[in-house]
Amino acid sequence: MIVMIVEKIELDNGSAIGLSMQMQSAPLLLIKADKGFVMCGYLDMEAATALGDVAVKVKGVNTFDDVLEALVVGATQEAINLGIKVGMTGREALELMF
């Protein structure tokens, strides 16, 4: 059975939407805020960059809480322009995306 979880995630600066789907080896996770998103290692930073998205990547995550606490390992230039830095948490990055 294929299950996708969609969850509202309350942050200080607004509400985000979390998407989770179990793949063969690990979950695919994404949390979307107004201006951009935090994605897990399954998703492609090059595509996000080419599309001009505000996007950051975290790795080693299995839950939405993991995404919020994980350190950002990559960011598009558009994300950097918002003040997002590699090494901040997913939560900190998302707060800047409202």
Residue 88 maps to which CATH number? Answer: 3.30.1980.10
Q: Could you give the percent of the chain with pLDDT greater than 90?
A: 94
Express each pLDDT in 38-66 by its tens digit: 999 999 999 999 999 999 999 999 999 99
Residue 3: pLDDT band (50, 70, 90) is confident
> Has residue 1 got a pLDDT over 90?
no
Long-range contacts (CB closer than 8 Å, 24 or more residues apart) made by 84-88: 84/54, 84/56
Element of type H or E holding 24: none
- CA of 49: how far to CAs of 26, 75, 91, in Å? 24, 9, 21
Query: Which residue matches tokens 């800047």?
Result: 96
**pTM higher than the cut 0.75:** yes
Domains contained in the chain, number: 1
Owning domain of residue 68: 4-95
